[in-house]
Amino acid sequence: MKNPIANLQKVFESRIRLGIMSALMVNDTLDFNALKELLELTDGNLASHLKALEQQEIIVVSKQFVGRKPSTTYRATEQGKDLFRQHLAALEQLIGNQ
Amino acid sequence: MKTNSVNPKEDIQAIREIMERSSKFMLLNSWAGFFAGTCALIGAAVVWFGVLESGALHYDEFLCTVGGSPLNSVTIGLGTVALIVLLLAGVAAIWFSYRKAQKAGQKFWTSSTKRVLAHLLIPIVSGGIFVLILVSRNQIDLVASAMLIFYGLALVNAGKFTSGEIHYLGMAEIAVGLLAGVFASYGLVFWALGFGLLHLVYGVVMWMRYER
């Protein structure tokens, strides 16, 4: 049997990135503040993890203005969703093997 | 927080918890249902014994014969009671939800709370305005029906973002509202059924499923 660990995605080893992606799997888009409240993180910490996910093309960022306030929203890419599903399947397989 | 070790069980738990928390408003509870139902039944009793003088003023006959100004002691009485019931039930629902969030150590004013409120308020506010239009045209016999239907639509609308019970409560309210339209002279009875009894049933279901 194929080792399920091979399907674990290194990028989701961080619980924070896992959390960001979990939220973006069930919400089309979320803004920075919504993620911050949801995951109870500091601005800098959240921003660095978002940056990492963005660089790997797991999420895309869009910036626009709501009235005069800038608003940054995040969305999971199809590729990102696929990776997340693989990761989740691997986790479930690991539990099954224990 | 451990960040770099693989613990599949904890990871999956965390994923599930975040997905639930970020997508659905799960703070509504049985108390909101019990309180709203009780308020509505008391309100209906006040209307029956107070405003309509225990049936001395027949709901249907009064509604057929009323002419002239839409503002008179009876419509003002009905409107005041309905408004008080709505306010009490709404404030209580928010308060019980807030308390549940506090007990669970969760935040109350989150994006899912805002989303549920917005989806509730759009049909409720349009329904409220429509009811005022009905009253201004002396179509009071359809007011109970309109209130129930718009409230039901609001619940169905918001039901996508909260626990599934709200969706079914909404469907039931719409059904009762349509019946109230067909049997317009029994508006008060259907009003008590929809806003009173159905909320109590909702409360019982929520309590049995999640809180027992």
For chain B, what is the domain count? 1
pLDDT recorded at residue A94: 86
User: Which has the closest alpha carbon to B203: B26, B89, B33, B28?
Assistant: B33
- How long a stretch of residues is chain B? 212
B4 located within any domain:
no
Whether A37 contacts chain B with CB within 8 A? yes
For B122, the domain range is 28-48+55-211
Interface with chain A: mutation pick from B5, B10, B18, highest number of A CBs within 10 Å: B18
Over 70: is that where the pLDDT of B68 sits?
Answer: no
Contact (CB, 8 A) for A26 and B18: no
Closest partner residue to A27 among B2, B6, B22, by Cβ?
B22
Query: Rounded to the nearest 10 degrees, what angle do helices B111-136 and A32-39 cross at?
Result: 120
B14 located within any domain:
no
Measured CA to CA, the distance from residue A80 to residue B201 in angstroms comes to 43
pLDDT tens-digit map of B80-108: 999 999 999 999 999 999 998 888 777 78
Tokens of B50: 């107070």
**DSSP bridge pairs for B162:** B25
Architecture in CATH for domain A10-88: Orthogonal Bundle (1.10)
B120 located within any domain:
yes
ipTM over 0.90: no
Q: What are phi and psi of A89, to 5 degrees?
A: -60, -40
Over 70: is that where the pLDDT of B69 sits?
Answer: no
C-beta atoms of B14 and A95 within 8 A: no
**Strand ranges (E), B91-160:** none
> Taking residues B174-178, what's their average pLDDT?
98
Task: List Cα–Cα distances, B85 to A11, A22, B80, in angstroms.
Answer: 52, 40, 9
Greatest alpha-carbon pair distance for chain A in Å reads 56
Whether B111 contacts chain A with CB within 8 A? yes
> Position B155: which residue type?
L
B7 located within any domain:
no
Give the distance from CA B142 to its chain's centroid: 18
Mean of all residue pLDDT scores within chain A: 88
Chain B partners within 8 Å of A8 (Cβ):
6
Chain A partners within 8 Å of B23 (Cβ):
26-27
**Residue B67 CB neighbours (<10 A):** 8
For the ranges A6-15, B7-16, B23-32, B105-114, the lowest mean pLDDT is seen at B105-114
Q: Cα-atom radius of gyration of chain A, to the nearest Å?
A: 15
